[in-house]
C-alpha cells in the first residue's frame, strides 16, 4: 500500500511517498529555516507563506522521485495537529483538494505520532509495544506506545519543550537558530563540567521542566556581563547540553525500568542530539532493553514519517472527510 504524506506544521514543507509504512520511495523537504534564522526563530506568518509557495512543488517532486502518478497512490496522509495553525492549514487544505480531485482516502495524522513512526522507517523489526521519548521544538513527552495507534502519556514537560530550551539557550549565547544543532556544535569544544547548572525539581515522576535551567543560563550570562566579562560559550553549551540530556535520559530510563520496557525509542528533532543518544543507548542496554534511534535524516520534520504513521491510521480506519480541520493543539492519545 502506497501512502503520500504531507507535513507543514512548522518551517518544513515536506512530502513523501512510503510503501507499507516502512519503505521510503521519496522524501522531499523544502525548509524556510534559513529565512527564519534571520529572525532568531520561526515567524508563523512567514512559515505559512512559504508553505503555500512550496507545497504543490514538493508533492509533485515526491511523486516524480517515487516514479509514480497520483493514480498509484492509495491514500493521502496529512499532519492535522498540533502545530502553528496557519502552517498546518496549508497542508490540510492542499491534501483535501488533492484527495478530492484524485478520489483517494484522506488520512489525518498527529505530528508526534509521525515523529514516533519515523523509527519504523529506520528499523524494519520495530513494533509496539515500546517506550518512547518524543522531544521536539514544541513537545517533550514520555509515551508508552501500546499499538501503532494507541498511546499513553506517562510524563511530559511542565513548561518549555526540550527543543525550545535549546533554541532559547542558543539565542542567549548568541548562537544561530535552530539552537539544537548550534549548541551541539559549540559543545564539541567545551567542558561539560565547567558550569554547575541546576537539576530542576518537578512534581510527577516522569515529568520534566526546563525553564529553571534556561533561566540559570541567562543569569550566568547576565552576571558575567555585569562583571564586564562574558561566559565561555563552548563550555556553557556543553554544560547545558550535558544537563538537559542527563535529565531526559534519566526520566526515560526510570520509566523504562518501572514499566519493564523491552524496547526504548527516541523521536523528534531533539533525538538528533548525540549526547542524548549516547546516554539513552548506554542506559537502556544496562537495563537489558533494546534501543531504537531514528536515523538523523528522519529526526526533524519530514513527510515520510507522516506517510508511515498514515499507513497505520488508514489500516485502523482513521480516515477523514472534507470537513477535516487543522488543530493547533491535540493530545497524542486522542481517539
Ligand atoms: O521535531 P522538530 O524538527 O520540529 C518540531 O516538531 O518542533 O524539532 C525541532 C527542534 C528544535 O527546537 C531544534 O533546536 C531541535 O529540535 N534540535 C536539536 C538538535 N537538532 C534539532 N536539539 C538538540 N540537539 C540537536 N542535534
Ligand atoms: Zn516535529
Q: What is the pLDDT of residues 135-172, one digit of tens each?
A: 999 999 999 999 999 999 999 999 999 999 999 999 99
Q: What is the CATH number of the domain that holds 78?
A: 3.30.420.40
- The sign of the dihedral angle between the CA atoms of 228, 233, 235, 241 is positive
Q: What span, in angstroms and rounded, lies between the C-alpha atoms of 73 and 1? A: 8
Q: What is the pLDDT of residue 26?
A: 98
Among protein residues, the one whose CA lies closest to atom 26 of ligand 1: 273
Specify whether 143 is located in the same domain as 272: yes
- List residues bridging with 145 in a β-sheet: 130, 151
75/156 same-domain check: no
- The alpha-carbon radius of gyration of the chain (Å, integer) is 20
Q: Do 279 and 304 lie in a common domain? A: no
Order of strands across the sheet that contains 23-31: 23-31, 12-19, 2-7, 75-81, 106-110
Atom of ligand 1 nearest to the CA of 178: 14
Res 125: pLDDT: 93
88 and 40 both lie in a single domain: yes
Q: Is the bond preceding residue 138 a cis peptide, omega within 30 degrees? A: no
Q: Is residue 326 part of a domain?
A: no
> Which mutation among 29, 164, 166, 266 tests ligand 1's pocket best, with the greatest number of atoms within 8 A of CB?
166
3-state helix, strand, coil split of the chain in percent (to 5) is 45, 20, 35
Average pLDDT, the chain: 97
Mean pLDDT of 248-252: 98
Query: How many angstroms is it from 243 CA to the middle of ligand 2?
Result: 22
Which residues have C-beta within 8 Å of that of residue 289, sequence separation ≥ 6?
131, 256, 261, 262, 263, 264
pTM over 0.85: yes
Residue 205 lies in a domain: yes
H runs (alpha helix) in the chain: 33-37, 44-66, 85-102, 111-122, 162-172, 179-187, 211-226, 233-259, 274-287, 303-315
Give the total number of structural domains in the chain.
2
The answer on 166 and 47 residing in a single domain is: no
What pLDDT, in 10s, does the model give residues 89-138? 999 999 999 999 999 999 999 999 999 999 999 999 999 999 999 999 99
The confidence band for 237, taking pLDDT boundaries of 50, 70 and 90, is very high
Looking at the structure, tell me whether residues 148 and 250 fall in a common domain.
Answer: yes
Residue 172 sits in the same domain as residue 302: no
In a domain, 328, yes or no: no
Asked whether the bond before 266 is cis by omega within 30 degrees of 0, the reply is no
* HSE-CB for 318 with a 13 A CA cutoff: 19
**Whether residues 30 and 69 fall in one domain:** yes
* Binding site membership of 308 for ligand 1 (Cβ less than 6 Å): no
Going by pLDDT thresholds of 50, 70 and 90, the confidence category of residue 295 is very high
How far apart CA 118 and CA 137 sit, in angstroms, is 16
Find the 21 Cα to ligand 2 centroid distance in Å.
18
C-alpha torsion angle, residues 221, 240, 82, 202 (rounded to 10): -100
Task: Indicate if the alpha-carbon torsion angle 311, 317, 323, 328 is positive or negative.
Answer: negative
pLDDT digits (tens, 9 = 90+) for 172-184: 999 999 999 999 9
- Residue 312 burial (CB count, 10 A): 21
Domain assignment present for 156:
yes
In a domain, 197, yes or no: yes
Please give the residue range of the domain that contains residue 306.
2-116+298-315
Rounded to whole angstroms, what are the CA distances from 276 to 29, 84, 90, 133, 200?
25, 27, 33, 11, 18
Residue 332: inside a domain: no
* 245 domain residue, yes or no: yes
User: Which cell numbers hold the place of 214?
Assistant: 534556561
Residue 68, in any domain of the structure: yes
Amino acid at each position: 500500500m502506497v501512502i503520500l504524506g504531507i507535513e507543514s506544521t512548522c518551517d518544513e514543507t515536506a512530502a513523501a511517498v512510503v510503501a507499507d509504512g516502512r519503505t521510503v520511495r521519496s522524501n522531499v523537504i523544502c525548509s524556510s529555516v534559513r529565512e527564519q534564522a534571520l529572525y532568531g526563530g520561526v515567524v508563523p506568518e512567514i512559515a505559512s507563506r512559504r508553505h503555500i509557495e512550496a507545497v504543490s512543488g514538493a508533492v509533485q517532486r515526491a511523486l516524480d522521485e517515487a516514479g509514480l502518478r497520483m493514480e498509484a497512490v492509495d491514500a493521502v496522509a496529512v499532519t492535522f495537529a498540533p502545530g502553528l495553525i496557519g502552517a498546518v492549514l496549508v497542508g490540510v487544505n492542499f491534501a483535501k483538494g488533492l484527495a478530492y480531485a484524485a478520489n483517494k482516502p484522506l488520512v489525518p495524522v498527529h505530528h508526534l505520532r509521525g515523529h514516533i513512526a519515523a523509527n519504523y522507517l529506520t528499523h524494519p523489526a520495530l513494533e509496539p509495544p515500546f517506550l518512547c521519548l518524543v522531544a521536539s521544538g514544541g513537545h517533550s513527552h514520555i509515551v508508552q506506545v501500546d499499538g501503532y495507534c494507541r498511546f499513553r502519556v506517562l510524563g511530559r514537560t511542565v513548561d518549555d519543550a526540550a527543543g525550545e530550551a535549546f533554541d532559547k539557550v542558543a539565542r542567549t549565547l548568541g548562537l544561530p537558530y535552530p539552537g539544537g544543532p548550534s549548541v551541539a556544535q559549540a559543545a564539541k569544544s567545551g567542558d561539560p563540567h565547567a558550569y554547575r547548572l541546576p537539576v530542576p525539581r518537578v512534581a510527577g515522576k516522569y515529568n520534566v521542566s526546563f525553564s529553571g535551567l534556561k533561566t540559570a543560563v541567562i543569569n550566568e550570562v547576565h552576571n558575567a556581563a555585569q562583571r564586564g566579562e562574558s561566559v565561555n560559550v563552548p563550555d556553557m553549551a556543553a554544560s547545558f547540553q550535558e544537563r538537559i540530556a542527563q535529565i531526559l535520559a534519566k526520566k526515560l530510563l526510570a520509566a523504562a525500568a518501572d514499566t519493564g520496557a523491552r524496547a526504548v525509542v527516541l523521536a523528534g528533532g531533539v533525538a538528533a542530539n548525540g549526547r542524548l543518544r549516547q546516554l539513552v543507548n548506554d542506559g537502556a542496554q544496562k537495563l537489558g532493553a533494546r534501543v531504537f534511534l531514528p536515523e538523523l535524516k528522519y529526526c526533524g520534520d519530514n513527510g515520510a514519517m507522516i506517510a508511515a504513521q498514515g499507513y497505520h491510521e488508514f489500516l485502523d480506519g482513521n480516515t477523514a472527510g472534507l470537513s477535516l480541520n487543522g488543530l493547533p493543539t491535540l493530545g497524542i492519545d486522542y481517539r
